[in-house]
Amino acid sequence: SKIGSVEMGARDQIKYIAAPIWNDLIGSLKQQFRSVEFDGFPGNHGHDKLAPETSSYDLLLYDILKASIGQCEGITINAHEQFADIVDINGFKFFCFHGDEIPCQQGVPFFAIDKKLKSWYIQFGGFNYAIGGHFHKRHSDEIASKFEYFMNGSLVSDDEWVLKKLGISSNPSQWLLGVHSVH
């Protein structure tokens, strides 16, 4: 977004909105489960193109979570500094990434996502599921019968970025997936 076009800057968004919301969510999940493990990946949020990739505000948020709720017993916060990684959950391989590295073609990211995921599948040695975001649109797809892909939605509805960039509308939503060691 352009400076002056948002209600508050990136630092205040992290301090007053993102960190408290994630602390509350992770804390509420911990009340239901023996352990909670959070894996965060950097994207384009609050990142200046001229700055090093490690100056991402996404990584700053994960560092804050690690220093706060991550200090609680049974809660692990993993801040991944690379753009993507495979996370093992009960024996299933999840390829996790932000998605800002995938270009849109005529406002549609789906063809590019399909192509990138097939390349990453080979490069990273295969995985069962892929999870991404960035495009502010909830979406899932089966990719060549080898793995499934889940794209997170946005926490806001009809935000200007997605309407301008993709020309689509979406309801506020996030995936919450459960993983069982057999199913």
CB distance 147 to 128 below 8 Å: yes
Instruction: State how far the Cα of 27 lies from the Cα of 69, in Å rounded to an integer.
Output: 7
Kindly tell me the burial class for residue 24, based on how many C-beta atoms sit within 10 Å of its own C-beta (0-12, 13-18, 19 or more).
exposed
Q: Using only C-alpha atoms, what is the Rg of the chain?
A: 17
CB distance 131 to 150 below 8 Å: yes
The predicted structure's pLDDT at residue 122: 95
Regions of the chain with pLDDT less than 50? none
The predicted structure's pLDDT at residue 133: 85
Cα 174–chain centre separation: 10
The per-residue pLDDT for range 90-116, each reduced to its tens digit, is 999 999 998 888 877 766 677 888 899
